[in-house]
Structures are given as structure tokens and as C-alpha cells.
């Protein structure tokens, strides 16, 4: 059962070949047996999951179902879940029990999906390797000495190891697509505003976007269908109609033009990785797509722009964690200032502190114009470059990451090298664009990802390209050794 996609499980549930409770028990057993070597979960919700499975089976018996009714999923521990700990992978929220559900959680719950638990993540989504979590490092199931990518590494590892059929994640600078690439699964970052951010703990508000981690593009479409839509509680959510993603992706193939930026194939890209991406593009050519070389003039500035804008927003968003209203509170503070300092000193990890300090610096008097304002201007130029490219191409393709998964601890002492691991993914969130990563091969038994970026609200186009690509290839069917049975 665990090796089936969401689409296949949905059909099995509908045909009454298996019950949601049987599925849920099966996945809970796998988590209990196999997650000790991965550390992909922070919280496992066995009692709640079984109760939700019972409710799903009642709905299935009456025919009142959606494609996700009875499907076991997991949520990244950045989404508020009523009555269940929401920690954001941090010490400061280790004792926080959310009194409400995030919109994403509420929508999936209403659709009948079963929440198995909350997945591990880089602290407050700040990281590219899932090594900054208060709950410990997450291990890549393809090689447990290597990282699964971050910050949604717990969700990615759980899906890759078949501990869950699908999971939610968030993408601020690549935190869905990068771990999807490093663990050999499919990851979608939707258009900014396509999915509500209400109840999703903020890192960088102008960049954060909820998305999906699944085995296939087909499964991703099923999840996004439920998650997407306007939300009056989130002023940044788009009032755009949600199309039938599943129907659109399976419609007749129409030849498209795929732009390939020369900037994405520079000296930073592993040569074998580059070759696998080019082989993936040849699959699209066989389908009838036209490949066109393009140049994104300012994309090389995306990393420095991101690491000014994102920390600036983080320094503001994380100011609420002060030990007064909720979360960890330091003991033996003599006054309010000392309470703030001790609480934040004890509660935040080194990477979060680094980004708060960076963000505070670039927003401070005398430096705002030199750093933050300039970064916002360049961000607009990057967005304009994409808009100009989409006048002549339908989607943009390239590698998701410069290399396969690196070893745990390899880059922790060099933040700059760690940040550069997101060099191909940061452009899309800076411009608010949707992007999809899919497995396209292996280097020394480590997965490699192909990334597709589309214009605003073009998820249909990305899903269709992803669906047809995965009909022609089988990279998405590979499972890490030890997690097949």
C-alpha cells in the first residue's frame, strides 16, 4: 500500500479495496519502524489520525468523498494545527499548542485527508539542509549520512521513504523544490498568493508560500486542488479562480517552448548534474517541445538580494517571540529587557540569530537605503527579466540544485556555501512565480532534480509538463534501499 501514489490510493479507497483505517495503521507502523533512522517527524498523531480515518471511512461509505478522503498525509511543523504542537523546529515554540488550524490544514481536513503528524524542519524554515532544527538533523533516506535538503526536509524525507503518501511544505527561497530534488520526489511551489498563508508561521512574508511534496505531479495537482483558493483571513491571497488541475494536466499535449537560461549552466553546476538535466530536456523535445536558449540578466544577483530581503522580514516577524505571550520564557529575569534577551538568546538557534541580526542591520538607520532599498530595486529587475522571457517561452527549465545531496556537517561552518545551494531556486519566489521540481536521474545513487518555472498562475501548465514527462520516464518510481517493503 505504501508504494502506491495518492491517485492510486484514492481509487482503491473509492472501490473499497482498502479502508482509510487500514491505510492509516499501515503508515503509522512504517513511521514507528523506519523513522528512527531519519528523524523526519517531530510529532506523530496516532490517536487523532485513527479518529480521522474512521470519519473518512464513514464518508467513503456514503460516497461523500474527494480524491483526498482517507489519504494519509503529514504537515510541515510550520502550519498551526488545533490541539497539536506547532514548534517550527524551534526550542522557543517547543511548548506551543496551537488553538486553531491554518487554512491549509483546515482545507485538507475538510477534504477528508488524515493527518499522521507534523514533520521536522529547519528552525523557522531558515536553512537549506534540515540541520538547524532544535529536534535534530533529518537524514536523507538515499544515504543517511547526507542531508535531505531544507527547510521542508522532514516532509521530503518522509515522502521519499514512503512513510506518508504526501506532505505539505513551505517555500521561501527553494525550501520545497530543493529537498524534493535531493530526495528524488516531486515538489511544487505555487504562485505567491495561490495558497493562503493564514496560520503558517511567517519567516519572510513577501516570499513564503505553502506547497506540496509528493511522489508525482499528478498527486501534487490533487493536493493543490484542495489547498488553493482565496482566503479573506489572508490579505495576500489571490482572488483567482482555481482551475481543475487534474483535468488540465491530462488534456492533449500541446507543443510548448521551453526557455533554458545560460546562467543556470555555469561553473557552479556539477557536470553530471548538468548532463542529466539536458537529457531530461531531450524528453520534452521528443514530445514536441521546442528548446530555446535564453538569458536572465539579473538572476545572478538573486542570492544576495534574497539574503537581504528575507532576513529583513524575518527580523520583524520573529520579534513576536519574546517570552511574554507564548512559547519559551527564560527564568530569573530581573526586568523586561533581560527577559527579552535571555528568552531569545536561549530560544533561538544560531542560524535564526544570524538572520535576525542581518535583517536588523540592513533595516537600521544609515543602512536601509544602501542594502534593503537596493535589494528591492534589484528584485524588481529580476521579476522583469522573467516577465520578458515569458513573452517568448512558455516555461523556463534548469537544474533545481547545483549538486546532489551533500554530507551532514559538510557546509555548517560556511554559511555562504550553504546559501549558494539555493542559487537556482531563489529567483522564482523573488518574482512570485510557480515552480515545480521533479527527479530526472541519479549521480552515485543520489537523486537529481529538474526544475520548471512558469508565469504567474500557470500551475496548470507546469502540472501538464510534469505529468507528460513522468509518463515518459520512471525516475519518480525509484525508492531508496531499505524503504521498499
Prior bond to 141 cis, omega within 30? no
- CA 10 to chain CA centroid, Å, is 23
Q: What are the φ/ψ torsions at residue 81 (nearest 5 degrees)?
A: -130, 120
Three-state SS for 203-251 is CCCCCCEEEEEECCHHHHHHHHHHHECCCCCCCCCCCCCCCCHHHHHCC
Torsion angle of the four alpha carbons 165, 458, 274, 137, in this order, in degrees rounded to the nearest 10: -40
Burial 440-465 (b: 16+ CB within 10 A, else e): bbbbeebbbbbbbbbbbbbbbbbbbb
CA atoms within 13 Å, Cβ hemisphere of 450: 30
Selecting among 87, 128, 151, 437, the annotated active-site residue is: 151
Alpha-carbon distances of 349 from 91, 342, 422, 463, rounded to whole Å: 8, 13, 21, 37
Q: Residue 17 is placed in which grid cell?
A: 479495496
76, 107, 411, 464: which is the annotated catalytic residue?
76
The one catalytic residue among 20, 175, 237, 437: 175
319 counts as catalytic: no
Output the nine-digit C-alpha cell for 245: 488541475
Handedness of CA 213, 218, 223, 228 (dihedral sign): positive
Per residue in 253-284, is it b (16+ CB within 10 Å) or e — as a string?
A: eeebebbbbebbbeeebeeebbebbbebbebb
Respond yes or no: is residue 292 known to be catalytic: no
Active site residue 175: yes
Q: How far is CA 284 from CA 135, 404, 405, in A?
A: 41, 23, 26
Q: Which three cell numbers stand for residue 219?
A: 498527486
| Pair 379, 313: CB distance under 8 Å | no
- CA angle (191, 106, 348) in 5-degree steps: 75
Neighbours of 185 (CB within 10 A): 31
Give the separation between CA 35 and CA 49, rounded to whole angstroms: 17
Which amino acids are annotated catalytic? 76, 151, 175
Amino acid at each position: 500500500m505504501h508504494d502506491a501514489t495518492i491517485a492510486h490510493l484514492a481509487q482503491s479507497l473509492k472501490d473499497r479495496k482498502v479502508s482509510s483505517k487500514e491505510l492509516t495503521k499501515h503508515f503509522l507502523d512504517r513511521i514507528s519502524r523506519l523513522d528512527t533512522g531519519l528523524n523526519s517527524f517531530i510529532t506523530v498523531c496516532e490517536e487523532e489520525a485513527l479518529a480521522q480515518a474512521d470519519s473518512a471511512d464513514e464518508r467513503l461509505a456514503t460516497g461523500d468523498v474527494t480524491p483526498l478522503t482517507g489519504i494519509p498525509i503529514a504537515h510541515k511543523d510550520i502550519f498551526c494545527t488545533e490541539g497539536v504542537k506547532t514548534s517550527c523546529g524551534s526550542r522557543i515554540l517547543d511548548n506551543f499548542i496551537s488553538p486553531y488550524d491554518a487554512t491549509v490544514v483546515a482545507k485538507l481536513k475538510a477534504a477528508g485527508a488524515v493527518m499522521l503528524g507534523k514533520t521536522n524542519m529547519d528552525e523557522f524554515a531558515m536553512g537549506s539542509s534540515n540541520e538547524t532544527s532544535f529536534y535534530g538533523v533529518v537524514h536523507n533516506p538515499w544515504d543517511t549520512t547526507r542531508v535531505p535538503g531544507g527547510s521542508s526536509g522532514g516532509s521530503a524525507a518522509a515522502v521519499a521513504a514512503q512513510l506518508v503518501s504526501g506532505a505539505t511544505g513551505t517555500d521561501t527561497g527553494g525550501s520545497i523544490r530543493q529537498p524534493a530534488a535531493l530526495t528524488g520526489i516531486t515538489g511544487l511551489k505555487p504562485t505567491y498568493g495561490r495558497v493562503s498563508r493564514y496560520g503558517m508561521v511567517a519567516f519572510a512574508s513577501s516570499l513564503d508560500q505553502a506547497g506540496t511534496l509528493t511522489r508525482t505531479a499528478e498527486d501534487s495537482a490533487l493536493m493543490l486542488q484542495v489547498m488553493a483558493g482565496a482566503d479573506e483571513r489572508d490579505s495576500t491571497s489571490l482572488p483567482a479562480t482555481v482551475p481543475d488541475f487534474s483535468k488540465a494536466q491530462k488534456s492533449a499535449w500541446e507543443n510548448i517552448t521551453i526557455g533554458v537560461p545560460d546562467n543556470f549552466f555555469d561553473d557552479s553546476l556539477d557536470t553530471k548534474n548538468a548532463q542529466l538535466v539536458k537529457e531530461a530536456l531531450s524528453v520534452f523535445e521528443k514530445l514536441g517541445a521546442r528548446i530555446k536558449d535564453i538569458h536572465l540578466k539579473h538572476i545572478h544577483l538573486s542570492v544576495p538580494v534574497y539574503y537581504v530581503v528575507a532576513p529583513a522580514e524575518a527580523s520583524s516577524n520573529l520579534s513576536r517571540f519574546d517570552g511574554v505571550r507564548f512559547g519559551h520564557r527564560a527564568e530569573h529575569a530581573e526586568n523586561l529587557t533581560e527577559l527579552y534577551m535571555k528568552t531569545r538568546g536561549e530560544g533561538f538557534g544560531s542560524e535564526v540569530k544570524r538572520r535576525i541580526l542581518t535583517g536588523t542591520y540592513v533595516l537600521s538607520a544609515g543602512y536601509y537605503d544602501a542594502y534593503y532599498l537596493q535589494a528591492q530595486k534589484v528584485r524588481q529587475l529580476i521579476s522583469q527579466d522573467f516577465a520578458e522571457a515569458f513573452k517568448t517561452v512558455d516555461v523556463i527549465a534548469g537544474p533545481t540544485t547545483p549538486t546532489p545531496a551533500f554530507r551532514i556537517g559538510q557546509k555548517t561552518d560556511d554559511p555562504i556555501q550553504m546559501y549558494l545551494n539555493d542559487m537556482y531556486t531563489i529567483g522564482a519566489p523573488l518574482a512570485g512565480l510557480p515552480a515545480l521540481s521533479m527527479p530526472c536521474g541519479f549521480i552515485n545513487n543520489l537523486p537529481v532534480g529538474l526544475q520548471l518555472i512558469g508565469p504567474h498562475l500557470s500551475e496548470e501548465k507546469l502540472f501538464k509538463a510534469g505529468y507528460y514527462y513522468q509518463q515518459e520516464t520512471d525516475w519518480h518510481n525509484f525508492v531508496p534501499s531499505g524503504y521498499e517493503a
